[in-house]
Amino acid sequence: MKYILVTGANGQLGKSIQEVAKNYTELRFDFKSSKELDITNIAQVHSIFSTNKYDYCINCAAYTNVEQAEKNPEIAFRINEEAVKNLAKNCLEAEVVLIHISTDYVFDGEKKTPYTVNDIPNPINEYGKSKLEGEKYIQKTLNKYFIIRTSWLYSKKYGNNFYKTIVEKAKRGEILSVTDEQIGCPTNALNLALFIMEKIVNENVNFGIKHFTDDIPMTWYDFAKLILQENSIENNSILKKEKNYRTFAIRPKNSVLE
């Protein structure tokens, strides 16, 4: 029976993994929230790896606030780079396969076609830079790892995300101004969780960088429209295209992953 540590287990992906894990009785899980396991704490991480015989570590812990990362990059780098180094070192010592979740934001968005795993990253904001540094260290340190880049991750149940925000605002009858200046592939966290589970169950040894999305490119405006239709609340709100969407962080215009 494979024993799997899941860090950041209370986030939207961690919760989604907990949901699908019930169907994998041949696997055993140790779900740790950020409060239960602080991956920036060297001693704490070493202790849990040395007292448990894990086969896999799924790292769902990350700093994902793109705007705040721009204003306080040291926080993003502490969690997305330094803490990842900490996990990678312990995975190496304990012979644990690391499954690390990364992002489309490692790319600059200038490419006109979908990004492949062979494209050279060139992040344009602090969040993307911090995630790329974590990726680099894993590749330098480990042979047995999966770096799974995904894009526009959302859950219909868990966490704070674009999907839930649109639904809540629409139900309140608010005007929704949504940009159509960016294109990506919204990805349901449940589907990503299933993809990760299959890697483990099938004992996949085709290690390295992988891209996983729900494979339907669209703008944020298109996604908002889809969300409203799916929840039958088109008439509860007014959806407007926003051409001059302003953010503190520069964001890639095209972050479609192949």
Q: Which residues are catalytic?
A: 127
Q: Which of 157, 174, 176 is nearest to 223 (CA)?
A: 176
Specify the amino acid at residue 192. Answer: L
Query: How buried is 193 (Cβ within 10 angstroms: 0-12 exposed, 13-18 middle, 19+ buried)?
Result: buried
Q: Which of 166, 164, 163 is nearest to 176 (CA)?
A: 166
Q: How many Å apart are CA 18 and CA 60, to the nearest integer?
A: 12
10, two tokens = 């209370």
Is the separation of the CB atoms in 142 and 88 below 8 Å?
A: yes
178, two tokens = 């949504």
